[in-house]
Amino acid sequence: MDYLVRFVQMHESFRKAEIEAMADLYGIHLEILHYNQYSPHCIIRLPDEDAARMIIGRSILSKAIYELWGSGPTYTELHQDVKHRTSHQWHLYKLSSFKFEIQAYQAKRSLAEQDALIQSFRYTGFEGPIQLKDPDQTFTIFEECEWGLKEPTKVHLGRLISSSSRPILDTYTLKKRKYLSTTSMDSELALITANLTLAAPGKLFYDPFVGTGSFPIACAHFGAVSMGSDIDGRAIRGKNGVNILTNFEQYRLVDKYLDSFIADLTHTPLRTARFLDGIICDPPYGVREGLKVLGSKDGGKKEIRLIDGKAAHLQSHYIPPKKPYSFEAMLGDILDFAANYLVDGARLSLWMPTANDEEVELEIPMHPCLEVVSICVQAFNKWSRRLLTYRRLRDEDVKGALPARQAKREEGSTANDLNSFRKRYFEGFREPPSPMKDVRTTDLG
């Protein structure tokens, strides 16, 4: 059966990936018949209405899903398609309360025009009461127009099946959240990321760069138990009695919060075993300050310092030494961690920045145990960030041997040396000077 998904016209590269993830989560066969990122209308094929409700019920980037009653480039062809597709169904809704509405994309219709278009479907023979609020059936006419043109280039008729979860954005908006920082992930993107990572009841999710807990909260909303860690103990401890737990209490999700702990991804205290159902993170980009991991710059061990007769590293206020860290090495370490901790079929979703030019374009990090599922892009001005989603393969599906990976260690000791994106960011992504510009010619004549 064919259905029309009404998307919101934002985060366009995420929309298709989200509904595909929902189909994968519920084991539903989904066929995308028509999708264009410049259009809010997507035509898909699903087994039945129950499948449609399941997929749309968790969607953040859609408004609703409709049973497709007809499509065409003109109203004449739309009416022909409606009669061909649905004439055998009209009697099912003959006495139901109903309403018609029109949604015009990039165009407007006067009330008189809307009434005339609605009346053109009177051949369906509906005799039930017209009910504008909470009717039994809602029929929507979708018009898609080119900018500046009045006549539509595509029209559809759909019967409303179910609305999406988009209204929950008001509940989780950062404007109302009690514990925040300047790097807290936007609640909409956090929920979308949780969807792409397939957060669901009965699953355990982990964020190794937890910050103020935006991702664990999003996962908990969808029923997953979540935990997190961060190298910065201040994020875990919070301030003035407000911390990550405060946010879970605010949303009444405490039963879905396992805990958070202070740790560095490269020195994790977690037992090496494949027990995680999802890893979801937005690692630091190293722009505000250079990336660091635990350890000394020279790699050697330091003598134990005593404060009041007690070892300094055992005291609550102790801040461990850190050393510079390569951004590319961090991405590789995240993939290694995911390969060692995710169960078969589980997903890793991570955000990574990139400049909008070829010179500092970062390659998509790859791992033999992980398969890329989707790549979504959020564009800014001169740079973008990508949401990369991977699936953990079964060991028997991994191609070739798994040699010990050598993490890329660039030469240099400064933050800019170790992070080409950071360097270009503070240069304003200006084009580097061409060596030919300083070449001067001498007139020998």
Locate tokens 């800014």: which residue? 380
Q: Which residues of 18-37 are buried (b: 16+ CB within 10 A; e: fewer)?
A: bbbbbbbbbebebeeeeeee
Q: How wide is the angle at C-alpha 211 spanned by C-alphas 207 and 216, nearest 5°?
A: 40
Residue among 392, 347, 55, 65 nearest 206 (CA): 347
The CA distance from 211 to 229, in Å, is 8
Q: How wide is the angle at C-alpha 135 spanned by C-alphas 133 and 140, nearest 5°?
A: 95
* DSSP conformation letters of 192-250: HHHHHTT--TT-EEEETT-TT-HHHHHHHHTT-EEEEEES-HHHHH-BTTBSHHHHHHH
- 364, 352 contact by CB (below 8 A): no
User: What are the phi and psi torsion angles at 33 (to 5°)?
Assistant: -85, -35
Question: What count of other Cβ atoms lies within 10 Å of the Cβ of residue 243?
Answer: 19
User: Mapping DSSP to helix (H, G, I), strand (E, B) and coil, where does residue 112 land?
Assistant: helix
pLDDT values of the chain reduced to their tens digit, one per residue, 445 residues? 999 999 999 999 999 999 999 999 999 999 999 999 999 999 999 999 999 999 999 999 999 999 999 999 999 999 999 999 999 999 999 999 999 999 999 888 899 999 999 999 999 999 999 999 999 999 999 999 888 777 899 999 999 999 999 999 999 999 999 999 988 999 999 999 999 999 999 999 999 999 999 999 999 999 999 999 998 888 898 999 999 999 999 999 999 999 999 988 888 999 999 999 999 999 987 555 555 666 655 555 666 677 776 776 666 666 666 666 677 888 899 999 999 999 999 999 999 888 766 544 567 899 999 999 999 999 887 788 999 999 999 999 998 655 444 444 444 455 454 455 555 555 565 555 554 444 333 333 3
Q: Any idea what DSSP says for residue 393?
A: P
Parallel/antiparallel/unpaired status of strands 137-144 and 292-294: unpaired
CB neighbour class for 418 (10 Å; exposed up to 12, middle 13-18, buried from 19) = buried
**285 Cβ partners below 8 Å, 6+ apart?**
327, 352, 353, 419, 421, 422
